[in-house]
Amino acid sequence: MSDTPEQITGHCLCGAVTVTATPAKPHLEACHCEMCRRWCGSAYLAVQSDTAPQFTGEEHITRFKSSNWAERGFCSKCGSNLFYCFTPTGSYSFLAGLFDDLGDRVLAEEIFVDEQPDYYAFAQETTRKTGPELIAEAKKAGFTFD
């Protein structure tokens, strides 16, 4: 068994941007907040990475400051959404669809379930947290959201 953390590789629709990331968790997460749904067209299905990712084509990444604590990145050539970056820690959540092979990862966590619309639902049983629960956990960990 290797001591090297597993890395996954993927790219945007046109291939101008590639990303190599080390997943922080062995599963996928979904965010149902209004901002993520507006950005993705539905729930944001993500792979979390707490270590610095490696990008090629970084000159094609445009970052949008979507809140006081987050940036969202997209490819300026094809418009593919790439990531959500929690700026206080530098951790990234990447769109699951970017990656070539996610192995046996399944959806295991959902956040902002209080903002989830009625028009979709996932079949898997997952850990589900509301926005206020998630914010309370973050504040308890020392983060502020002003």
pLDDT tens, residue by residue, 49-100? 989 999 999 999 999 999 988 999 999 999 999 999 999 899 999 999 999 8
**Inter-residue contact 1 to 64 (CB < 8 Å):** no
SS (H, E, C) 8-35: EEEECCCCCCEEEECCCCCCEEEECCHH
Helix (H) or strand (E) holding 137: helix 131-140
**Alpha-carbon separation of residue 116 from 107, 113, 120, 121, 123 (angstroms):** 16, 5, 8, 8, 14
Residues paired with 92 in a beta bridge: 49, 85
- Tell me what pLDDT residue 84 has: 96
Q: What is the pLDDT of residues 105-121, one digit of tens each?
A: 999 999 999 999 999 99
**Domains of the chain with CATH codes:** 8-140 (2.170.150.70)
Rg (CA), the chain: 15
Q: Is the pTM of this model over 0.75?
A: yes
